[in-house]
Amino acid sequence: MSQVNYDPDVIVDSRDATCPGPLMDLIGKVKSAESGALLELRTTDEGSKNDVPDWIDKAGHELLETVDQGDYWSIYVEKS
Amino acid sequence: MSTKICVVGGGSGGTIVANRLAEKLRPELESGEAEIIVLNDKPEQIYKPATLYMAFGRSELSEVKRPVEDLLDPGVDFRQKKAVSIDPESKQLGLESGETCNYDCAVLTTGSKLDMAGIPGLKEAGHHFYGPDGSEELREELANFESGHLVVSVMGVPHMCPVAPMEFSFLADDWFRTRGLRDEVEITYTYPVNDIFGLDTVANWARPLMEERDINIETFFNPEEVDSSEKVIHTVEGTEMEFDLLVAIPPHKGAELVKSADLGEGEWIETDKHTLEATRAKDVYAIGDAADVPTSKAGSVAHYESGVVADRIASQARGRTPSARYDGKTVCFIDGVDGNKATFLQFKYGEEPDLPEESKLIHWAKHSYNEAYWLTAKGLL
């Protein structure tokens, strides 16, 4: 569990989607989000824990935290 | 009591499922206890995999299309009508003509279509090979392209025939090589995620082949806008790429009726991956690109799904419990390596495919199948 209580502006629920679905879902929502928006990606695909942070780094956004929610992960991103 | 089955769409999935149903329900069709209707807005079916070859002058329009009516069993009622809405409560399809069509069971094979307007500037500056018109235009561009930067860019997933962008890149490499122009033409392949394909096995097979052939690779590349006057792609990642010829795999979208009837979250119909039943609408099945099942948007998927759906509907029509299940079987050829070598991948849900070494034999098997495809569309192969 996270120590921070995030209040995301956009929730991207990609649970049960396989690679590259979660990342592509996130990219789609980041494109339309406002600068500074907080997004939460929910994913059950373990690969997302690597490729999503890599993409966030390349695209210049900020990875706030990856939280293990038990049966899925929440990846919190702030759009630059 | 008669069972009325409406198949929406006259592509591969539509004709195969209708023909398989006609075969299974022959006695019921002849006695009037069953009726099979296929609705399609156009009179012809296009065999889309062959339009790739049209761009390189290896195939002609007349070879890639057939009248839908000629592909259907005589027991199937073909109507050239476009379905624009579906009301699962009243079991009724709304047609563009203003008419309605009631059903006991509907099979939605509404496919996917290109969204060239989905990326600003793409329509003005980009080309594609996913249909006869696009391929005809691209053939002229390729025939006159003697130097510069060719960019093959996958601009969204999922898209039809996932390996086709790789095939195009290999075919383009061979096209310019055989013309003595390869040193004058730089080729770049771009992909949205951090590898060149969604399946590791395929990516690991294709990457060295591309590198050996001097095909540049750019990953994490998600175009946001195409500047058609300056011929520059701008990406979500903040990067830019100049091009002289842009061959795009545009974003794809589903049929309007999917959204209007709220059959899924996005463009595709929420579908049980084994029974192929639409989860948000009773007595509605989804086949092919229209369904959101976790495998490729490929013709082989529509083919294998059609057999399952025909079996299930025939069982239901006879008062039996349907038992056929789709296991995710998918087969895709990857053609064009050095112009005349191919391999193929075959997998089911959750599996990584094995790829045999690319060979001329598999290339000719693929082209033989292209010729034989119309037997598949008729439900015979």
H/E segment holding residue A62 = strand A62-68
Cβ-defined contact of B193 to A17 (cutoff 8 Å): no
Structural domain of B33 = 3-112+254-317
CATH number, domain of B42, equals 3.50.50.60
If asked whether residues B86 and B152 sit together in one domain, one would say no
If asked whether residues B118 and B205 sit together in one domain, one would say yes
Looking at residue B71, what is its pLDDT? 97
Mean pLDDT, residues B304-320? 97
* Residue from B45, B14, B15, B21 nearest B35 by CA: B21
* Active-site entry in A8, A10, A17, A19: A19
Looking at residue B1, what is its pLDDT? 65
Among B275, B294, B317, residue at a domain's last position? B317
Among B252, B283, B304, residue at a domain's last position? B252
Beta bridge partners of B294: none
**What single-letter DSSP state applies at residue B324?**
-
Looking at residue B300, what is its pLDDT? 95
pLDDT above 90 as % of chain B: 93
Cα gap B173→B182, rounded to integer Å: 7
The yes-or-no answer on residue A19 being catalytic is yes
Domain presence at residue A21: yes
Cβ-defined contact of A55 to B193 (cutoff 8 Å): yes
Domain presence at residue B367: no
H/E segment holding residue B86 = strand B83-87
For residue B192, give the nearest of A20, A30, A54 by CB distance: A20
Looking at residue A32, what is its pLDDT? 86
3-class SS of residue B54: helix
What residue ranges in B118-220 does DSSP mark as E strands? 126-127, 148-154, 185-190, 215-218
Confidence of residue A15 (pLDDT cuts 50, 70, 90): confident
If asked whether residues B242 and B263 sit together in one domain, one would say no
Domain presence at residue B296: yes
Identify the closest residue of chain A to B224 by CA–CA distance. Answer: A31
Confidence of residue B253 (pLDDT cuts 50, 70, 90): very high
Looking at residue B351, what is its pLDDT? 85
Beta bridge partners of A68: A73
If asked whether residues B246 and B263 sit together in one domain, one would say no
- Residue A2: pLDDT over 70: no
* Residue from B124, B164, B108 nearest B284 by CA: B108
To probe the interface with A, which of B157, B219, B220 has the most A CB atoms within 10 Å?
B220
User: Could you give the number of structural domains in chain B?
Assistant: 2
Q: Which long-range contacts (CB under 8 A, 24 or more apart) does B133-140 make?
A: B134/B51, B135/B51, B135/B52, B135/B54, B135/B55, B136/B54, B136/B61, B138/B55, B138/B247, B139/B54, B139/B55, B139/B56, B139/B57
* Residue from B118, B149, B144, B112 nearest B131 by CA: B112
- Residue A1: pLDDT over 70: no
If asked whether residues B189 and B119 sit together in one domain, one would say yes
A46 at the B interface (CB within 8 A)? Answer: no
Domain presence at residue A33: yes
CB pairs under 8 A between A and B: 37
Q: What is the DSSP string of B200-217?
A: HHHHHHHHHHHHHTTEEE
CA-based end-to-end distance of chain A: 25
If asked whether residues B86 and B151 sit together in one domain, one would say no
Identify the closest residue of chain B to A59 by CA–CA distance. Answer: B237
Beta bridge partners of B234: B225, B240
Cα gap B67→A5, rounded to integer Å: 60
Domain presence at residue A2: no
If asked whether residues B243 and B145 sit together in one domain, one would say yes
Interface confidence (ipTM) of the complex: 0.84
Looking at residue B159, what is its pLDDT? 93
If asked whether residues B98 and B118 sit together in one domain, one would say no
Cα gap B342→B21, rounded to integer Å: 34
Domain presence at residue A65: yes
Among B284, B317, B350, residue at a domain's last position? B317
A53 at the B interface (CB within 8 A)? Answer: no
A32 at the B interface (CB within 8 A)? Answer: no
Burial call B99-116: b when 16+ CB within 10 Å, e when fewer: eebebbbbbbbbbbbbbb
Domain presence at residue B333: no
CA distances from A62 to A34, A68, A77, B221 (A): 14, 18, 6, 18
Residues 6 or more apart from B30 whose CB is under 8 A from it? B75
CATH number, domain of A21, equals 3.30.110.40
If asked whether residues B233 and B289 sit together in one domain, one would say no
Domain presence at residue B181: yes
Domain presence at residue B130: yes
Amino acid at B286: A
Domain presence at residue B360: no
Domain presence at residue B337: no
CA distances from B271 to B277, B281, B287, B349, B377 (A): 6, 10, 9, 14, 23
Cβ-defined contact of B192 to A17 (cutoff 8 Å): no
Cα gap B172→B145, rounded to integer Å: 11
Looking at residue A5, what is its pLDDT? 86
Domain presence at residue A5: no
For residue B192, give the nearest of A24, A54, A60 by CB distance: A24
Q: What are phi and psi of B215, to 5 degrees?
A: -90, 115
State pLDDT tens for residues A16-39.
Answer: 777 778 898 899 899 889 999 999
If asked whether residues B215 and B268 sit together in one domain, one would say no
User: Could you give the number of structural domains in chain A?
Assistant: 1
Domain presence at residue A4: no
Domain presence at residue A1: no
Cα gap B19→B68, rounded to integer Å: 12
Beta bridge partners of B216: B188
Structural domain of A66 = 10-78
State pLDDT tens for residues B265-294.
Answer: 889 999 999 999 999 999 999 999 999 998
Task: Please give the mean pLDDT across all residues of chain B.
Answer: 95
To probe the interface with A, which of B159, B194, B225, B267 has the most A CB atoms within 10 Å?
B194
Domain presence at residue B224: yes
Confidence of residue B53 (pLDDT cuts 50, 70, 90): very high
